[in-house]
Amino acid sequence: MTTLPQQTDRKLGLVIDLDTCVGCHACVISCKGWNTENYGAPLSDQDAYGSDPSGTFLNRVHSYEVQPEAGAAQLVHFPKSCLHCDDAPCVTVCPTGASYKRVEDGIVLVNESDCIGCGLCAWACPYGAREMDQAAGVMKKCTLCVDRIYNENLPEEDRQPACVRTCPAGARHFGDLSDPDSAVSQLVAERGGVDLMPEQGTKPVNKYLPPRPRDQLQTPDDSGEIDVLAPFLEPIDNGPKGFLGWLDRTLEKL
Amino acid sequence: MHPAPSVILFSSLSGLGFGLLVWLGIGLPAVTGWVAFVFFALAYLLAVGGLIASMFHLGHPERALKAFTQWRSSWLSREAWASVTALLVMAAYGAGLVFFDTRWWPLGLIGAALSLLTVLTTSMIYTQMKTVPRWHSLSTPANFLSLSIAGGALLAGQVTEAMVLIALAGAVQIVTWWQGDKALATSGTDLSTATRLGEIGNPRAFEPPHTGSNYLLREFVYVLGRKHAAKLRIIAIVLMMVLPLLLLLSPVWHHLAAALAVLSHAAGVLTARWLFFAQAEHVVGIYYGKR
């Protein structure tokens, strides 16, 4: 049924730390690796070794630069996958019931044997989280690694989404965002986690932690400390040397 | 948005076909026998031809029947129901006119209402997309419905009604373009809200996630048509409104002028519908620093 549940028992999702992400794309690769050989149709590539390669991915990392009013510009790496929205517009547009949001944990999934590949759910998603697989003709999306997180054949430490398990920087966190005491909820509260495109009214479960202010190298003036040796360590001559130095001095005299 | 030929053909042709069914349903023209057969055949060719064309963009057309299940939430599912019931009711009504020389008028009225409902459901598929601000407006159903009824009047040979309605549809089309051009800027979605980095400073796309293209860019960030948009709009409005009006007003009113007016109007609607997709900006393009 493509009507959304009134509420879900849990809200499993990701918290992505934009302050910590180093932009290595390991989450992209591990996601593709796990999901191409497990739940549903493989994530196909087209013309992978040719002049116009493209393929299906469930997670992609953008990079943005931000210029604050004061201070240095920052580069922010920005992983983006399905946000498992509470008000998921992709689910309600589905004409066949292939797209659904689970009541028990809030995960948004596609039943691929019901999907007619009309592409409407990808149109309805503002985040670009759904991609039509060109080989299988069905819609692919992040499953929150539903075949890992409940999988008792895996060691306990592996029962989390592949992207979270692989992230070398610890920038991705997985948990229940409906429980205010869960580690992820605490993290969101502490760091001021935000929704993407809140004006679209999708109520995403996944949260993003904004980059923290960058450290400033403190000068003695800022810190209030007095360094008695500093005057002696100042460079005596910062001016140019050699011919340019002569030219500089001569022009000064004129 | 990628202007898929199958979807453009579908929405334009079936719009005209269902428009003609509306007029036949209310008994204008009041035809029976063979003449009725020709009118109904034309309407069904357009409406059903359009529906079949729309199947070509599905990844799995063999599962299309499943699309009837989710009418509670999905406009596409409602469209499937509306179109099939409209076609069935109008088939019974048409059979009365063609074979029994009788006009079962209640059936005709129900069929006309269902035909209008079909066009409305088609337009709502696009109107509901908050992600495409240009479509997310009341002008989209107004545009689709006015074109369908005007084109239907033209096909039904209702000259006076057609002239008024074509002028009206042309006016609605111009308002739709004028409103649509402001829609993305006033939607409130930009790179600042998409990344939430606006709270630190002024964000700019630095590097996309991949060097090649992907499904999202092909489907949602289609920029080819925009360069010629102004010229294409003039062509569309001349073909859909100006030329048919001149032909209908011409003193030598005969079947050739009428046929030319229909062809010109249909070509204008197809051009406008192509622009409807090609010019539409999906907010996911913002993540790529594009629109």
The CATH number of the domain holding residue B265 is 1.20.1630.10
The letter for the amino acid at A134 is Q
The number of distinct structural domains making up chain B is: 1
Instruction: List the domain range (segments joined by +) for residue B238.
Output: 5-288
Range 221-280 of B in CB contact (< 8 A) with A:
none
In angstroms, the Cα distances linking A99 to A90, A239, B55, B124, B167 are: 7, 69, 19, 19, 42
Residue B74 clears pLDDT 90, i.e. is over it: yes
Which residue(s) pair with A28 in the sheet?
none
Chain A residues inside the 8 Å CB shell of B131: 89, 123-126, 200
Is residue B208 within 8 angstroms of chain A, CB to CB?
yes
The architecture (CATH level 2) of A12-209 comes to 2-Layer Sandwich (3.30)
Choose from B216, B217, B290 for mutation: most chain A CBs within 10 A: B216
Query: In chain B, pLDDT over 70 holds for what percent of residues?
Result: 99
Lowest mean pLDDT among A28-42, A89-103, B144-158, B243-257: B243-257
Phi, psi of B117, deg, nearest 5: -60, -40
Per the CB < 8 Å rule, is A64 touching B206?
Answer: yes
Report pLDDT for A223: 60
Range 104-133 of B in CB contact (< 8 A) with A:
125, 128-132
Chain A residues inside the 8 Å CB shell of B221: none
The closest CB to that of A197, out of B75, B193, B216, belongs to B193
Chain B residues inside the 8 Å CB shell of A45: none
Chain B residues inside the 8 Å CB shell of A139: 59
Q: C-alpha angle with apex A181: A179 to A185, nearest 5 degrees?
A: 70
Report pLDDT for B141: 97
Contact at 8 Å (CB) between A140 and A130?
A: yes
Report pLDDT for A233: 78
Q: Give, for A92, the enclosing helix (H) or strand (E).
A: helix A89-92
**How confident is the model over B98-151, as pLDDT tens digits?**
999 999 999 999 999 999 999 999 999 999 999 999 999 999 999 999 999 999
pLDDT band at residue A189 using 50, 70 and 90 as cut-offs: very high
pLDDT band at residue A2 using 50, 70 and 90 as cut-offs: low
Report pLDDT for B275: 93
Q: Could you tell me which of B52, B44, B47 has the C-alpha nearest to residue B94?
A: B44
Contact at 8 Å (CB) between A72 and A193?
A: no
Residues A129-143 have a mean pLDDT of 96
**How confident is the model over A29-44, as pLDDT tens digits?**
999 999 999 989 999 9
Going from N- to C-terminal start, the domains of chain A cover: 12-209, 220-253
In angstroms, the Cα distances linking B103 to A121, B157, B232, B250, B265 are: 43, 19, 43, 33, 30
Per the CB < 8 Å rule, is A92 touching B73?
Answer: yes
Report pLDDT for A219: 55
Pairing mode of beta strands A45-46, A12-17: unpaired
Chain B residues inside the 8 Å CB shell of A138: 59-60
Q: Give me the residue label for tokens 């932009």.
A: A23
Q: pTM for the whole thing?
A: 0.89
Report pLDDT for A221: 58
- Residues recorded for chain A: 254
Report pLDDT for A224: 64
Chain B residues inside the 8 Å CB shell of A41: none
Q: What is the mean pLDDT of chain A?
A: 92
Minimal CA separation from A41 to chain B, in Å = 13
Residues A101-122 have a mean pLDDT of 96
Q: C-alpha angle with apex A131: A197 to A94, nearest 5 degrees?
A: 80
Residue A218 clears pLDDT 90, i.e. is over it: no
